[in-house]
């Protein structure tokens, strides 16, 4: 028998709020975190807006020495994890540190660090003597997981996942499997990203993946809308504390919900485009439903990947129809990327937090900026206004460049 896994702690830094509470309030009110980029001069860029982490100052959370030796993506990871651990009620000395692990991902890693250190190299005429000795430890994508484990002395399984926009969903899935097989009692898991920088925006512009709706930035992220023209880059970090049910009960933890089912597949199709009709996503959903031991019609809500790109939204909608049949039209489907943008490697984790809070709060956040129906996207996307309803079971799905697909099912906890 696989161990049951529950969620006991949440932490989030997002473009619409620097706490879980502020994040939830903003997305249920349909507020957008998108605006013109302030981090660098965008005069020569096709896209001049993004969903920045507004109001974040690392010195409010850590000392200056540490803040200068870690990339923003690691800052976000550490702060979100501090929040989640505090929220979980895990107290020093109340758990076996050998039995607590960290799996924490980033789709790209320290891109700001690479940008700044490369500029130093060029300014020195190619002489490497001014490159920081912290350059590599700041850059590598696994350093967030390492830093979190070092801070708390957590000696269980520790590594990073990197699967583009499915990264933090894969982190969560790996953490579930580690608990289920008995290799850890508690896992700190999630993802972070900080690539609103010249190479990040320029690179995605070169790929023609970003919206260029510069005249109306807050209207740019419009998942499933007929006039969508690309995704909006976001940034931030999100962390979940997962525990085996017996460990959580033994310490009297507050349980948000149960993590009921997981699924992973590959498209094996194309480096950036999804497989036709969302076939890979559909298989991940079916695997997660089977793993949860439930029927498709037991799902109340789908927290969709919903990137606001023409191929993703069309194929994801097809995947949902193929898995759920007529029930596809009875569920609420929604995309919080319409408000927070696409957090890339952190997207899965922040969307899982939204899914969990939908169960706790009996509320489905809206897909804002939904104005004109696309014939290929004909589901109930919870347009523009949050919906109150009983939510027992939510599926969150994510996909990433390279053909990675994930599906995670959360369910209201019952003894």
Single out the residue of 100, 379, 380, 411 nearest to residue 262, CA to CA.
Answer: 411
Q: Helices (DSSP H) in 181-328: which residue ranges?
A: 198-206, 245-250, 279-292, 310-324
Number of domains in the chain: 2
Instruction: Report yes or no on 136 lying in a domain.
Output: yes
Are residue 288 and residue 345 in the same domain, yes or no?
Answer: yes
Q: Catalytic one among 197, 257, 305, 352? A: 305
Is residue 414 included in any domain, yes or no?
A: no
80 shares a domain with 43: yes
The verdict on 278 and 347 lying in the same domain is yes
User: Which residues lie below 8 Å from residue 68, measured CB to CB, with a gap of 6+?
Assistant: none
pLDDT at residue 415, as a whole number: 85
Q: Does an H or E element contain 150, and which?
A: helix 143-152
Whether 377 sits among the annotated catalytic residues: the reply is no
Catalytic residue (choose from 165, 197, 257, 377): 165
Looking at the structure, do residues 206 and 72 belong to the same domain, yes or no? yes
The domain in which residue 135 lies consists of 5-250
Among 194, 216, 250, residue at a domain's last position: 250
* Token digits of residue 105: 């991902």
- Is the domain of 236 the same as that of 318? no
In a domain, 145, yes or no: yes
Q: Which residues of the chain have pLDDT under 70?
A: none
pLDDT of residue 388: 98
- 128 with 65, same domain? yes
How many Cα atoms occupy the beta-carbon half-sphere of 158 within 13 Å?
20
Residue 292, helix vs strand vs coil? helix
In a domain, 352, yes or no: yes
CA distances (Å), 117 to each of 107, 108, 110, 204, in order?
Answer: 20, 16, 11, 21
What CATH number is attached to the domain comprising 22?
3.40.47.10
How many Cβ atoms are within 10 Å of 57's Cβ, its own excluded?
9
Report how far residue 22's alpha carbon sits from residue 15's, in angstroms, rounded to the nearest whole number: 10
Of residues 197, 247, 257, 342, which has the active-site annotation? 342
Q: Does 14 map to a domain?
A: yes
Domain match, 241 and 384 both: no
Whole-angstrom distance, CA of residue 71 vs CA of residue 194 = 8
Structure tokens at 243: 């525990």
Report if residue 410 sits inside a domain. Answer: no
Are 143 and 201 part of one and the same domain? yes
In a domain, 77, yes or no: yes
For residue 129, give both structure tokens: 């003597």
CB contact at 8 A, 358 and 313: no
Query: In the annotation, is 305 catalytic?
Result: yes
In a shared domain, residues 53 and 200: yes
Residues 287 and 217 in one domain: no
Positive or negative: CA dihedral 44, 48, 51, 53: positive
Q: What is the model's pLDDT at position 154? A: 97
Helix (H, G, I), strand (E, B) or coil at 203: helix
In a domain, 10, yes or no: yes
| Spatial separation of the C-alpha atoms in residues 357 and 359, rounded to whole Å | 5
Buried b (16+ CB within 10 A) or exposed e, 208-222: ebbbebeeebbbbbb
Q: What are the residue ranges of helices labelled H in 124-208?
A: 135-139, 143-152, 167-180, 198-206
Q: Given the structure tokens 């009709």, which residue do they identify? A: 277
Write down which residue in 202, 231, 250 finishes a domain: 250
Is 165 one of the annotated active-site residues of the chain? yes
pTM (2 d.p.): 0.97
* Residues 268, 194 within the same domain: no
Name the domain boundary from 215, 250, 285.
250
Q: Measured in Å, how far apart are the chain's first and last C-alpha atoms? A: 16
Same domain, 355 and 288: yes
The alpha-carbon radius of gyration of the chain (Å, integer) is 20
pLDDT at 92: 81
């Amino acid at each position: 028998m696989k161990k049951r896994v529950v969620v006991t702690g949440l932490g989030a830094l997002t473009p619409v709020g620097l706490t879980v509470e502020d994040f939830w309030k903003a997305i249920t009110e349909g507020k957008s975190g998108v605006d013109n980029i302030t981090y660098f001069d965008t005069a020569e860029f096709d896209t001049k807006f993004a969903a920045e982490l507004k109001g974040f100052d690392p010195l409010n959370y850590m000392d200056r020495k540490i803040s200068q030796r870690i990339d923003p993506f690691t800052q976000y990871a550490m702060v979100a994890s501090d929040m989640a651990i505090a929220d979980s009620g895990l107290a020093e000395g109340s758990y076996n540190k050998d039995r607590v692990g960290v799996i924490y991902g980033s789709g790209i890693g320290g891109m700001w660090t690479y940008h700044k250190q490369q500029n130093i190299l060029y300014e020195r005429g190619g002489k490497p003597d001014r490159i920081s000795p912290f350059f590599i430890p700041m850059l590598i994508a696994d350093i967030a997981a390492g830093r979190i484990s070092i801070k708390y002395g957590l000696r269980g399984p520790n590594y990073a996942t990197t699967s583009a926009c499915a990264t933090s969903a894969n982190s969560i899935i790996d953490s579930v499997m580690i608990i289920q097989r008995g290799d850890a009692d508690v896992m700190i898991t999630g993802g972070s990203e900080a690539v609103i920088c010249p190479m990040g925006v320029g690179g995605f512009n070169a790929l023609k993946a970003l919206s260029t709706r510069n005249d109306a930035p807050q209207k740019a992220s419009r998942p499933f809308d007929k006039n969508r023209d690309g995704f909006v880059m976001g940034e931030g970090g999100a962390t979940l504390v997962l525990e085996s049910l017996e460990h959580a009960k033994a310490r009297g933890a507050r349980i948000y919900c149960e993590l009921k089912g997981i699924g992973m597949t590959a498209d094996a199709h194309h480096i950036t485009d999804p497989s036709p009709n969302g076939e890979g996503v559909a298989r991940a959903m079916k695997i997660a439903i089977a793993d949860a031991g439930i029927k498709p019609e037991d799902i109340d809500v789908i927290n969709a990947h919903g990137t606001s790109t023409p191929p993703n939204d069309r194929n994801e909608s097809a995947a949902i129809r193929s898995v759920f049949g007529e029930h596809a039209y009875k569920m609420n489907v929604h995309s919080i990327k319409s408000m927070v943008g696409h957090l890339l490697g952190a997207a899965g984790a922040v969307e899982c937090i939204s899914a969990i809070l939908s169960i706790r709060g009996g509320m489905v956040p809206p897909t804002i900026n939904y104005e004109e129906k696309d014939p290929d996207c004909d589901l109930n996307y919870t347009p523009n206004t949050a919906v109150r309803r009983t939510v027992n079971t939510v599926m969150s799905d994510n996909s990433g460049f390279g053909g990675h697909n994930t599906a995670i099912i959360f369910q209201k906890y019952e003894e």
